[in-house]
Amino acid sequence: MSSYHLDHLQYLETEAIHIMREVAAEFERPALLFSGGKDSICLLRLAEKAFRPSDIPMPFLNVETGHEFPELLEFRDRRAKELGAKLIVRTVDEAIAKGHAHPAPGEISRNKLQIPVLLGAIEEFQFDCAIGGARRDEEKARAKERFFSFRDSFGQWDPKNQRPEIWNLYNAKLNPGENMRVFPLSNWTEMDVWEYIKKEKLEVPNIYFSHERECYRKGGQWLPVPPPHRDATKPDPYAGARPKANEPIKKMIVRVRTIADMISTGMIESKTETIDDIIGEVSAARVTERGTRADDKASEAAMEDRKKAGYF
Amino acid sequence: MPHTHPIELLRFNTCGSVDDGKSTLIGRLLYDSKSLMEDQVEALEKSADITGGGQINLANLTDGLRAEREQGITIDVAYRYFATPKRKFIVADTPGHVQYTRNMVTGASTANLSIVLVDARLGVIEQTRRHTYIAALLGIPHLVIAINKMDLVDWSEARFTEIRDEIEGFLPKFGSFRDVKFIPMSALSGDNVVDASTKTAWYEGPALLHHLETVYIASDRNFSTFRFPVQWVNRPNNPTNKELHDFRGLSGQIASGIVAQGQEVVILPAGIKTKVKEIWSYDDSLAEAFCPQSVTICLQDDIDVSRGDMIVGLQNLPGRSAELQARVCWMSQRPLTAGKKFYLKHTTQIVQAAVTQIENRINFTTFEPEYQPAGLGLNDIGTIRLRTAKPLLFDGYETNRLTGSFILVEQGSNATVAAGMLFPPLEAAKPEYADFAI
């Protein structure tokens, strides 16, 4: 029977394709969350595998904090175009201007402000399902989450009352106003993602590879120096997130391991030029991927709290 | 270093009673197999200083929810991932508390192997029997009985043998596992978890991890009978490629068996015989496909096929009936009584179903059925009869986990309230080929 054998990547792939097709079959208006990051790059390939030769039967959705790496946005727009998909972008700036999102005094990170933007987009387009690239190995609250993660009409996740998920029978039933988050990569690890990118020869944004960049030390991490503020007629979007006098700037050879936005992504010193180099680095890593994410360090339950409120 | 050869995946779950040390065991596997990262250890140490009086609590690795850490129990299934050079592992850490038995069913339904933990001091308790019973009921092929906390019984071989004999006494009644392994261990100290213990000279078997790395799983899948529930009809709207203008593919995941290009198949429930023209996949056209691959099948003839239909081989046709008998695990606070209506999801279709009769309920002390119970309560297991609005195409759960299983969804709340395992069909579907000539 050895010829009828799937290795672990093929197994994860067939599971994820099955889930993608369940979404297409069971929901009226699904969307696929695409940021341009490595996990959502895998999602796109899985969507191609699930639906080709047809078009991918759902638009792509991205929530911008306004602090994105420009390289990532360029990549995101280009990939959506290449795949012939409709890309919907909603921004925290817009939401603040419309009064839908309210920054907490003194809080520079816009991580939490993505929540009302995402919920607003779901309402605006009447999405009943959003496919995301989250993985259970990323974080321990995520480790508890289902493939089909039910959200009530306030977008909330109730971790103590999740729908049991048995065999491959996913319960997609919703009442009006409720929606589902679906995570086809739930069972993938960081290593699986990179091995899949290698196997499928997927393009990734160049910030995943080593490059020269100005960084500064903050909270035990090397943060990228934000782009200069050029348009003096507008407030500096990075106000408060620029290196202070006692945080000297250093030119370094770095890359990102995981991408949030520029003010919450720690850069790692690295000399990686190929996907193989990255795989080697990940297998030798002694800290988790999210160890470089400032947004998760807030407290032991930082992710759980955001998810309960409607986070990705 | 990155591996170059294909690596097998083993899915297992851990279950046992509260405080048997399930989460500690997984923590130990991760810790000793060097799958833990420095920041995770750092976070553990941080919470140990705050809440644990300085002792690292390995259980905090899997107890991801605040309420779990507060109460020191596992509420929900937590999934963990680790790899050794031999295999990759997906671990479902399933709760022991009786009120969360439904989550054990969730975690175990996709497992190749179950680890049931037993506290060596307490021996076999109701939860041990219940979890072993559920593992057998769900058709998990491989079972490990981890007799834990052996350090607290002075590594007594007599105690180990006593517990093993008791379990071996009732196991045959529950069903047949392909293999059963009893392992004496201490998850807390790591003995016989990753490395063989020096304290159990009398024990000749492997440490747990070695067993997980080597247990034979290649024959766990059902390759004998082809079943392909149609999941999604693939029909390009405006193909730029003219060759695709008439493309009509049937997408799905092969539930069991093997299919080859050119093979004769039957479309059910229509009962039409045709041939597989092409097995389409994004990468390539395939000569053959097998379970659990996700593929797109193109048929020789233009036949009306939709989601919920099934493509099968000519031999061993599935059953087709609207009158069903099944064993269910009830997962809702509101009891199941005869006469209630539900949505039933089976393979890729949803139909309305009425529970016509509750035949029995399993007594978890005797494991004997009690007939004509008033209903089934939360976490009860029993046999029911159902009538569906449309006949199902199905196999007995024992022969096919995917075409023999269903869930019940409560109308209104949309809660998943039952996991069902179908009894074998009384007779196979009888398609009429006569009116169709190839």
In this prediction, residue A143 carries a pLDDT of: 85
Looking at the fold, whether A132 and A280 belong to one and the same domain comes out as no
Is the domain covering B8-214 a CATH 3.40.50.300 domain? Answer: yes
Give the closest of B219, B348, B414 to A173, CB-based.
Answer: B414
Task: Outline where chain A has alpha helix (H).
Answer: 8-26, 38-51, 70-82, 92-97, 114-124, 190-199, 275-284, 302-308
In this prediction, residue A65 carries a pLDDT of: 92
Looking at the fold, whether A193 and A219 belong to one and the same domain comes out as no
The residues near A278 (Cβ < 8 Å, ≥ 6 apart) are A194, A208, A209, A272
A170 located within any domain: yes
Does residue B41 belong to the interface with chain A, where contact is any CB pair within 8 Å?
no
**For chain A, which residues score pLDDT lower than 50?**
1-2
In the numeric block, the tokens 């990940």 are attached to: A282
Does residue A295 belong to the interface with chain B, where contact is any CB pair within 8 Å?
no
Looking at the fold, whether A233 and A280 belong to one and the same domain comes out as yes
Contact yes or no for A276 and B90 at CB 8 A: no
A2 located within any domain: no
Token readout for B114 is: 């179950």
Does residue B132 belong to the interface with chain A, where contact is any CB pair within 8 Å?
no
Distance CA B12, CA A187 (A): 13
The residues near B405 (Cβ < 8 Å, ≥ 6 apart) are A166, A167, A169, B109, B346, B397, B419, B420, B421, B422
Which residues of chain B have a CB within 8 Å of the CB of A15?
292
Distance CA B42, CA B56 (A): 10
In this prediction, residue A250 carries a pLDDT of: 95
Give the closest of B65, B239, B307 to A141, CB-based.
Answer: B65
Does residue B62 belong to the interface with chain A, where contact is any CB pair within 8 Å?
yes
Does residue B90 belong to the interface with chain A, where contact is any CB pair within 8 Å?
yes
Looking at the fold, whether A20 and A58 belong to one and the same domain comes out as yes
CB half-sphere exposure, B7, CA atoms < 13 A: 21
A3 located within any domain: no
Looking at the fold, whether A180 and A279 belong to one and the same domain comes out as no
What residue in A sits closest to B238 (Cα-Cα)?
A54
Question: Is the CB of residue A307 less than 8 Å from the CB of residue A141?
Answer: yes
The pLDDT tens digits for B93-147 are 887 666 667 778 888 899 999 999 999 999 999 888 888 999 999 999 999 999 9
Contact yes or no for B414 and A5 at CB 8 A: no
Give the closest of A52, A140, A175 to B64, CB-based.
Answer: A140
What residue in A sits closest to B281 (Cα-Cα)?
A49
CATH of domain B319-422: 2.40.30.10
Peptide bond into A53 cis (omega under 30): yes
Looking at the fold, whether A192 and A240 belong to one and the same domain comes out as no
Chain center to CA of B415 = 20
Q: What length is written for chain A?
A: 312
In this prediction, residue B438 carries a pLDDT of: 39
Contact yes or no for A25 and B307 at CB 8 A: yes
Does residue A285 belong to the interface with chain B, where contact is any CB pair within 8 Å?
yes
Contact yes or no for B6 and A52 at CB 8 A: no
State the best of A135, A166, A173, A303 to mutate against chain B, taking most chain B CBs within 10 Å: A166
Give the closest of B47, B105, B239 to A164, CB-based.
Answer: B105
Looking at the fold, whether A192 and A211 belong to one and the same domain comes out as no
Question: Is the CB of residue A204 less than 8 Å from the CB of residue A258?
Answer: no
CATH of the domain at A127: 3.40.50.620
**For chain B, which residues score pLDDT lower than 70?**
1-5, 18, 44-75, 96-100, 239, 432-438
Contact yes or no for B79 and A173 at CB 8 A: no
State the best of B90, B242, B246, B400 to mutate against chain A, taking most chain A CBs within 10 Å: B90
Q: How far is B240 from chain A (nearest CA, A)?
A: 10
Contact yes or no for B2 and A276 at CB 8 A: yes
The DSSP element (H or E) to which B420 belongs, if any, is strand B416-422
Which residues of chain A have a CB within 8 Å of the CB of B247?
53
A27 located within any domain: yes
Q: Among residues 190-219 of chain B, which lie with CB inside 8 Å of chain A? A: 218-219
Q: Please provide the DSSP assignment of B125-142 as one string.
A: -HHHHHHHHHHHHTT-SE
ipTM of the complex: 0.92
What residue in A sits closest to B219 (Cα-Cα)?
A1
Number of domains in chain A: 2
Does residue B8 belong to the interface with chain A, where contact is any CB pair within 8 Å?
yes
Distance CA A68, CA A259 (A): 9
Looking at the fold, whether A154 and A214 belong to one and the same domain comes out as no
Looking at the fold, whether A182 and A210 belong to one and the same domain comes out as no
CATH of domain B227-313: 2.40.30.10
CB half-sphere exposure, A132, CA atoms < 13 A: 22
C-alpha dist (Å) from residue A137 to B62, B64, B334: 11, 11, 34
Does residue B341 belong to the interface with chain A, where contact is any CB pair within 8 Å?
no
Contact yes or no for A187 and B237 at CB 8 A: no
Q: How far is A187 from chain B (nearest CA, A)?
A: 7
Domain ranges for chain B, please list them. Answer: 8-214, 227-313, 319-422
Peptide bond into B184 cis (omega under 30): no
Looking at the fold, whether A194 and A218 belong to one and the same domain comes out as no
Looking at the fold, whether A58 and A128 belong to one and the same domain comes out as yes
Does residue B277 belong to the interface with chain A, where contact is any CB pair within 8 Å?
no
Contact yes or no for A140 and B345 at CB 8 A: no
Domain span at A270: 206-296
Looking at the fold, whether A150 and A34 belong to one and the same domain comes out as yes
Backbone φ, ψ for residue A15 (5° rounding): -65, -45
Q: Any idea what DSSP says for residue B369?
A: E
Q: Among residues 157-176 of chain A, which lie with CB inside 8 Å of chain B? A: 159-160, 162-169, 171, 173-175
